[in-house]
Structure 1
Amino acid sequence: MIHSTGVEPVLEARGISKRFPGVLALDGVSLALRPGEVHALVGENGAGKSTLIKVFTGVYRPDGGELRYRGAPAAFGTPMEAQRAGIQTIYQEVNLVPMMSVARNLLLGREPRGRFGVIDAAAMYGEAERVLAGYGVETDVRRPLRTLGVGAQQMVALARAVSVEARVVIMDEPTSSLEPREVETLFGVIGRLRDSGIAVMYVSHRLDELYRVCDRVTVLRDGRLAHTGPLAELERLRLISLMLGRDLSDVRSRGLTRFSRDRHRTPGAPSTEDTPTEDTPTEDTPTGDTPAKEEGAVVEARGLTRRHVLDGVDVSVRPGEVVGLGGLLGAGRTETAKAIVGALPLDDGQVLVAGLPLRAGSTAAAIRAGVSLLPEDRKAEGIIPTLSVRENIALAALPSLGRAGVVSEARIDRVVEIFMRRLRIKAASPHQLVSELSGGNQQKVLLARWLAVRPKVLLLDEPTRGIDVGAKAEVQALIDELAQEGLGVLLISSDLEELVEGADRILVLREGAVVGELSGDEVTEERIMATIAEQAEPSDG
């Protein structure tokens, strides 16, 4: 590998800042891409990776700092300007023209032409076949691009980007849809790019790939530069700690969450005795009776498998138990939760609720069986901003709040009142638009919606992300309270402290597979990071 630290950068960010309403997405970030070097860019959700890529490629203009290209100040007004200058980007989602032929997609705008400027189809097809053969793609280049598999389409996009005299190639999760053979081909292409003096920025959450192909690494966290330097000098555990913002030498024994200290009990053992409060719904309220604690799993997922996403994931949650899912971005945590509730189609696997199989691919069946999901992106997949707090809370429970298809307004009011009081939702009235509430109160509204359908298991995907400290503590205390009442909880969190203090046991995922289970005294931040960092066993073939 070339470590060309003494070479002049071809593309450089110097103290780049970028603001959006209410958010400082990049805060003085510097990064230099040098010819003949593969530079990894890593960080969790919200770290600023996508924003920095868009600054480099002309989608965004920075609000502060300087962008330099080939030694001079640069300002790309559009992505096309950046492409013409020699900056090519290969995105996770293929951004070509699916109805056009493979050959036209590969050579669009550069088609060989004969007399009178007419496209020479034979020459175009021959050139396309020759170029694609070098990328392991053997197909009829006359066929529409959409008829190829996703991996083959990705290789066409890569071939196009590299074949236009690029000086910088940015790869955003390029192996997400590739088969092992195609991944090897990609790595060979990256090697050729490096040898040709092209700068490569490689964005991936797969540690094995990073350490195999990258020379240097830059870590972003919360829009700021956390680290930059040679990757070979950075052990995996240290890289993970930088991404997650955890100091290995200073992980506190007691954190600042509002979870009970009496966690990590033996799975299935009785929890602390319930202490009803005036805010706890009684047995005659629409929230239903408290589930009885028992040894068996209330929900069990067996062998959840989806190509490129999940690889035989097993998960079980008992009543009154909080099971955590740990892992880096892209490990398969969100996909596991979506698969359990039928929101992610599976190639194989089964979900059982109270021992009975759940109809595959049906979120309605999951909700009826008592399995509810609080999604990670509350704005895109959760709240309905044009509806009131009352309407958002009652939405999922409407079928149970009426008779003969007629919904009882009085029962809706009662349910909404109960949950606004219990969850301490701060709103001018139940009729206030939910979009006018703070992020923390919007999250509580979503929790109220799913609690109102009397679930047996609640799947929580990043339940405290993006909310203020006070609301975060209230949500954590509520999770504890619900588990003590017998509700099973699957907790997904990138906050290691929250995961450690909130979960009874933790399943650690990496690249769509469970690579470790921690319980009791094993549930520590160090053990989670060590399990994530463990190298996968080399394959036999």
Structure 2
Amino acid sequence: MSTPLVEARGIAKRYGPTVALANGRLTVRAGESHALVGRNGAGKSTLVTVLTGLQEPDAGTLLFDGEPAPPLGDREAWRAKVACVYQKPTVVPELTVAENLFINRQPEARRGFFSWKKLHTEATRLLDTWDIHVDPGARTADLKVEDRQMVEIARALSGGARFIVLDEPTAQLDNREIERLFARMRALQDSGVTFLFISHHLQEVYEVCQTVTVLRDARWITTAPVAELPRPALVEAMAGEAIAEQAAAAAEAVVEQHGVDAPVVLDVRGLTSDTYRDVDLTVRRGEVVGLAGSSGSGKIALAESLAGLHTPASGTARIDGAPLPFGDVSAALAAGVGCVPRDRHDQGLVTGMSIGDNATMSVLGRLGRYGFVGTDRKRSVARDLIERLDIHAEGPEQPVSDLSGGNAQKVVMARALASDPHLLVLINPTAGVDVKSKESLLRRVDHARDDGTAVLVVSDELDDLRRCDRVLVLFHGKVTAEHRAGWTDQSLIASIEGVDDE
């Protein structure tokens, strides 16, 4: 067989007493898409920092094309071999596409002067070479998420790298955007680009990857052709237990139909904005209702309106019979709405604060009098939330930035639950978390239902929607279908895509 493009053997890394990686192994062959999967804390991020030259392992060997990796300080040599496109964009939003492509290495004209014309020409040539259809003069902040990712991939390719690490690239994309990203990945593979694909969405592994490597508990577990590894076996390798059966049983239990005769908590009538129109919906006490649809359906804007982030053009919403205020998050919170926003990085967490501060910031008024917050009271509430949500942390004082993705999302959920909301609005609640954290978060949805909370779940994940008593589908801004628990994937996807389910 040919020499692997990338080969890591026996990679180990410790941080004091913490073993981040004990036996990292990876063999990636040129031209393939290779999946790297595992629960949060399995060692994926540590292995990626070694693969990209951000840190040196304590032990082990890393080879590129059979040759030892460059010295850690030789950044040019590393850029020519590997690049990582992270879940959180690293482009500068206020710069143009061309400026981002050649940031810190702008092409010069004669006599050392900067040339805007040459910059634009070089950017156009680079984008055309890799068949990436993005306007080089466009402001990067105005691009769709998928196009920003392609700009980052193009920037990596311009440095000579043909091995690209994609870290949760689909976390903020809907189904159609994911399909377009995958089509672009396949085209780049045909042109000689190799991908290491990191994702918690296992269906994507089967759609776009040829090989998968599983890490668990900081160790290599298995590497296998995707076509030869059934999904239950892959989940079991990641979790170390048969968690798939637990999830299936929990989803099947929803068919019992909760909240059918319970009082209405949320009553929406004729709600209209520039992205959705004439929306009527109700959510009863102890009922979980899902919202599904493509990115242009208006489902996220609708949910964010109910959480106080936007003001609709017309229509009404009432919570427990009282008018729900729009355009004011604090007022919505006071009215009884708790929310897990769609992006924990930008909307859900204050990364410079502790777990306790993040988890309790929505209920500070309850923790003291006259504007003073009782430290002991806040710590006690935070500890209770950490225990309820099974957040793996040293304690309330630990910086939230230290947490894995799954535990960070649990902190966001904890804050939403801290106010004992009557209505819980969850937007992509399991995006970018591992299978075990995902199941833990969905169990909290089940518990909220059992406690009598009305829950609205907006998600592109079918596993999330399977926990709902009903799923409403928005198509071009209108509610076009309702599916009771027990729906089939085919029927729901047909509604989302606006086609008949034959």
Letter in 2 for 1:267: H
Q: Does 1:50 align with 2:19?
A: no
Amino acid at match of 2:57: P
Aligned to 2:366: 397
Which runs of no fewer than 5 residues in structure 2 stay unpaired?
293-299, 389-394, 435-439
What TM-score results when the alignment is normalised by the length of structure 1?
A: 0.59
- Relative to structure 1, the CA distance from residue 453 to residue 253 in structure 2 (aligned partners, 3 Å threshold; closer, same or farther) is closer
Q: Distance in 1 between matches of 2:311 and 2:452?
A: 29
SS of 1:156 mapped into structure 2: helix
Aligned to 2:5: 10
In the TM superposition, residue 195 of structure 1 has moved relative to its aligned partner by: 3.7
Q: Which residue of 2 aligns with 1:139?
A: 135
Tell me the secondary structure at the aligned position of residue 62 of structure 2: strand
Whether the 8 Å CA contact 1:57–1:79 is kept in 2: the answer is: no
**Superimposed CA distance per residue, residues 144-173 of structure 1 (whole angstroms, 9 cap, x where no aligned partner):** 555655544433322222233223122234
2:72 is aligned with what amino acid? G
Whole-Å Cα distance in 1 between the matches of residues 387 and 178 of structure 2?
Answer: 49
Change (3 A) 1:41 1:350: farther
Aligned to 1:435: 397
Q: Which has the higher helix share?
A: 2
Q: Residue 227 of structure 2 corresponds to which residue in structure 1? A: 232
Residue 364 of structure 1: aligned partner: 330
After superposition, the Cα gap between the structure-2 partners of 1:22 and 1:191, relative to the gap in structure 1 and judged at 3 Å, is same
C-alpha change, 1:78 and 1:240, in structure 2 (3 Å) is farther
Partner of 1:277 in structure 2?
none
- The reply to whether residue 33 of structure 1 matches residue 24 of structure 2 is no
Q: How does 1:15-414 map to 2 (within 5 A)?
A: 15-20=10-15, 24-74=19-69, 77=72, 80=75, 83-108=78-103, 112-113=107-108, 115-119=110-114, 121-134=116-129, 135-137=131-133, 139=135, 141=137, 145-146=140-141, 148=143, 150-174=145-169, 187=182, 190-205=185-200, 210-236=205-231, 239=234, 242-243=237-238, 246-247=241-242, 251=245, 266-268=257-259, 294-298=262-266, 317-320=283-286, 323=288, 339=304, 342=307, 352-354=318-320, 358-373=324-339, 380=349, 385=354, 395-397=364-366, 406=370
The runs of 5 or more residues in structure 1 that have no matched partner are 1-5, 271-293, 328-334, 427-432, 467-471
Moved more, 7-16 or 205-214: 205-214
Deviation at 1:299, TM superposition (A): 7.2
Task: Report the CA distance between 1:364 and its aligned residue.
Answer: 1.3
Aligned partners of 1:41 and 1:202 also within 8 Å: yes
For 1:314-350, what per-residue CA distance to the aligned partner results, in whole angstroms no more than 9, with x for missing partners? 99653345x49899xxxxxxx8998476276699998
Deviation at 1:370, TM superposition (A): 1.4
Any conservation in 2 of the 1:324–1:506 contact (CA below 8 Å)? yes
One-letter amino acid matched to 1:190: M
The alignment covers a number of residue pairs equal to 462
What is the identity percentage for the equivalent residue pairs of Structure 1 and Structure 2? 32
The alpha-carbon deviation at position 122 of structure 1 amounts to 4.0
Deviation of 1:57 (Å): 0.9
Contact residue 341 and residue 373 of structure 1 kept, 8 A: no
Cα separation, 1, equivalents of 2:414 and 2:147: 44
- Contact map agreement 2:449 2:455 (CA 8 A) in 1: yes
**Counterpart of 1:65 in 2: which secondary structure?**
strand
CA distance in 2, matches of 1:152, 1:533: 27
TM-superposed deviation, 1:84? 3.4
State the shift of 1:20 in Å.
4.4
CA-to-partner distance for each residue in 1:42-64, whole Å, 9 max, x for gaps?
Answer: 34544443333222112233344
Q: Which one has the largest radius of gyration?
A: 1
**What amino acid does structure 2 have at the position aligned with 1:367?**
L
1:233-285 Cα shifts (integer Å, max 9, x gaps): 3445654565555538x947999x9xxxx997542369xxxxxxxxxxxxxxx
| 1:41 counterpart letter in structure 2 | L
The 3-state SS of whatever aligns with 2:21 is strand
| Equivalent-residue separation in structure 2 for 1:224 and 1:92 (angstroms) | 23
Instruction: Identify if the C-alpha distance between structure 1 residues 200 and 342 changes in structure 2 by more than 3 Å, giving closer, same or farther.
Output: same
| Cα distance change, pair 367–229 in 1 and its aligned pair in 2 (3 A) | same
Cα distance change, pair 316–62 in 1 and its aligned pair in 2 (3 A): farther
Secondary structure in structure 1 of the residue aligned to 2:397? helix
Q: Give the residue type in structure 2 aligned to 1:139.
A: D
Q: Give the secondary-structure state (helix, strand or coil) at the position aligned to 2:264.
A: coil
Local SS of the residue matching 1:395: helix
Counterpart of 1:281 in structure 2 is none
For 2:40 and 2:311, the matched residues in 1 are separated by: 25
Answer yes or no: is the 8 Å Cα contact 2:70–2:78 preserved in 1.
no
Aligned to 2:295: none
Cα-to-partner distance string for 1:367-408 (whole Å, 9 max, x where unaligned): 22112357998994599649899x97961436xx86xxx579
Q: CA, structure 1 residues 247+186, in 2 after alignment: closer, same or farther (shift >3 Å)? A: closer
CA contact (8 A) 1:168 1:198 kept: yes
